[in-house]
């Protein structure tokens, strides 16, 4: 690794006006497995790649429900994500209690962004090491936001974060104009295709390593979803019908029946907090 005088402290600007500690925190997000988010006029969806540290280990949780109308997918330090998602839940509950109103999604995202900003300016802290994709619906329809450790938050039509997310981004940039009028099934399929771009050579999406988060009315593949279309996480066998809709890559990698991705994923684990 390189080392320079201005990178060991988050309270120090480099002569170029950069904050190296914040930039390193953004790298921590890229260590986590990828998550993809997309939005249409009626739905927002999240798709995430779960990792497991070995055959005896379960898969790391990548999605969290915040409230009936909001959910997140994470990439980076899971423990930081748990702290922030807990805070988001408190904000959501407080809005329900005080105003009897589901918290507007943009304000929820801003609230954690403002928290993250403080960690980039004060001594004795470190920036959060996790990025979120946040989906939710409110009066103005479905939304997709990205939150990052720099304290920034942006609203997107589609976005990806985490390891090799650039490949997914390239896919999304190619197709995003069609998302607005997509059906939920098409939206998820695009999401799976984008997520597939982040996989390593010999890996494939399967029911174990894929999580799907949805807000909006139910899909034909879902059962017992209330009409309001609250946030839900689709996992395990329930993912299968969605995986079936994928169109095989026409490349020569032979994306047919490749063995499950559970096999040792060395050097590819989520970054863990010490201790």
Partner 1 sequence: MDHFPTNWGRPRNDAYDAYGTYPIAQRPQNNPKDAFSAGVQHTQQPIVTGTSVLAIKYKDGIMMAADNLASYGSLARFKDIQRLHAVGNNTMIGAGGDMSDFQYIQNMLDELMIDEFTAQDGLALGPAEIHEYLSQVLYARRTKMNPLWNSILVGGFKDGQRFLAYVDLLGTTYSASTLATGYGSYIAQPLLRKAVEGREDVITEAEALEIIETSMRVLYYRDARSLNKFQVATITAEGAKISESKSLDTTWSFAEGIRGYGAQTQ
Partner 2 sequence: MTSIGTGYDLSASTYSPDGRIFQVEYANKAVENSGTAIGLKVKDGVVLAVEKLVHSKLLVPEANRRIQTIDRHIGLATAGLLADGRHLSNRARDEASNYRETYNSAPPLKAVADRLGLYVQAYTLYSSVRPFGISTILGAVDKDGPSLFVVEPSGVFFGYNGAAVGKGRQLAKTELEKLNLAELSTREAVTEAARIIYLVHEDAKEKEFELEMSWIGTESGGVHVHVPKDLLQEAEAAAKAALENFE
Query: Quick one: which segment of 86-94, 116-124, 215-223, 267-275 binds partner 2 (CB under 8 A)?
Result: 116-124
Report the nearest approach of partner 2 to the CB of residue 253 (Å): 26
Phi, psi (deg, nearest 5) at residue 230: -65, 170
**Residue 150 touches partner 2, criterion: CB under 8 A:** yes
Residues 6+ apart with CB under 8 A from 252: none
**Residue 154 touches partner 2, criterion: CB under 8 A:** yes
Of partner 1, partner 2, none, which one does residue 124 interact with (CB within 5 to 8 Å by kind)?
partner 2
**Residue 217 touches partner 1, criterion: CB under 8 A:** no
Phi/psi-derived region of residue 124, left when phi > 0, alpha when psi is between -120 and 50, beta in every other case: left
**Residue 274 touches partner 1, criterion: CB under 8 A:** no
Of the two residues 37 and 102, which places its CB atom closer to partner 1 in the complex?
102
Report the nearest approach of partner 2 to the CB of residue 200 (Å): 24
**Residue 106 touches partner 1, criterion: CB under 8 A:** yes
The correct pick among 30, 65, 89, 104 for binding partner 1 (CB under 8 A) is 104
**Residue 6 touches partner 2, criterion: CB under 8 A:** yes
Closest alpha carbon to 159 in 175, 144, 180, 178:
144
Tell which positions 19-48 bind partner 1, by CB under 8 A: none
Query: Quick one: which segment of 28-36, 70-78, 133-141, 253-261 binds partner 1 (CB under 8 A)?
Result: 133-141
Of partner 1, partner 2, none, which one does residue 123 interact with (CB within 5 to 8 Å by kind)?
partner 2
Contact predicate 91/111, CB 8 Å: yes
Integer-rounded Cα radius of gyration of the chain: 19
| β-bridge partners, 36 | 47, 160
- Give the C-alpha separation, 156 to 25, whole Å: 21
**Residue 249 touches partner 1, criterion: CB under 8 A:** no
**Residue 93 touches partner 2, criterion: CB under 8 A:** no
Of the two residues 82 and 96, which places its CB atom closer to partner 1 in the complex?
96
Other C-beta atoms lying within 10 Å of the C-beta of residue 233 = 19
Q: CA dist 6 to 11, 17, 119, 162, Å?
A: 9, 10, 17, 26
Tokens of 201: 């050579």
Closest alpha carbon to 34 in 181, 167, 179, 170:
167
Tokens of 169: 């981004």
Report the nearest approach of partner 2 to the CB of residue 16 (Å): 6
Contact predicate 62/50, CB 8 Å: yes
Of the two residues 141 and 259, which places its CB atom closer to partner 2 in the complex?
141
Residues lying near partner 1 in the complex (CB under 8 A): 97-101, 104, 106-107, 138-140
Residues lying near partner 2 in the complex (CB under 8 A): 5-6, 9-19, 110, 113-114, 116-118, 120-124, 150-152, 154-159, 169, 172-173, 176
């Amino acid at each position: 690794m390189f080392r320079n005088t201005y990178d060991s402290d988050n309270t120090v600007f480099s002569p170029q006006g950069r904050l190296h500690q914040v930039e390193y925190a953004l790298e921590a997000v890229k260590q986590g497995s990828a998550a993809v988010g997309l939005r249409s006029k009626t739905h927002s969806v999240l798709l995430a790649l779960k990792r497991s540290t070995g055959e005896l280990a379960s898969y790391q949780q990548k999605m969290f429900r915040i409230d009936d109308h909001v959910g997140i997918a994470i990439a980076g330090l899971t423990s930081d994500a748990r702290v922030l998602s807990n805070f988001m839940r408190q904000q959501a509950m407080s809005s329900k209690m005080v105003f009897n109103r589901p918290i507007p999604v943009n304000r929820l995202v801003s609230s954690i962004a403002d928290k993250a900003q403080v960690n980039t300016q004060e001594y004795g802290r470190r920036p959060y090491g996790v990025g979120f994709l946040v989906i939710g619906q409110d009066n103005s329809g479905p939304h997709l936001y990205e939150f990052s450790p720099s304290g920034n938050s942006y609203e997107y039509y589609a976005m990806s974060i985490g390891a090799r997310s650039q490949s997914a981004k390239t896919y999304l940039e190619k197709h995003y104009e069609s998302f607005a009028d997509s059906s939920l099934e098409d939206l998820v399929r695009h999401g799976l295709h984008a997520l597939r771009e982040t996989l390593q050579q010999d890996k494939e999406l399967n029911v174990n390593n894929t999580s799907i988060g949805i807000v909006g009315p139910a899909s034909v593949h879902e059962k017992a979803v209330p009409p309001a279309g609250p946030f839900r996480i689709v996992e395990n066998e329930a993912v299968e019908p969605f995986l079936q809709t994928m169109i095989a890559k026409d490349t020569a990698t032979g994306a047919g029946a490749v063995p499950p991705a559970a096999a040792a994923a060395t050097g590819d684990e989520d970054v863990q907090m010490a201790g």
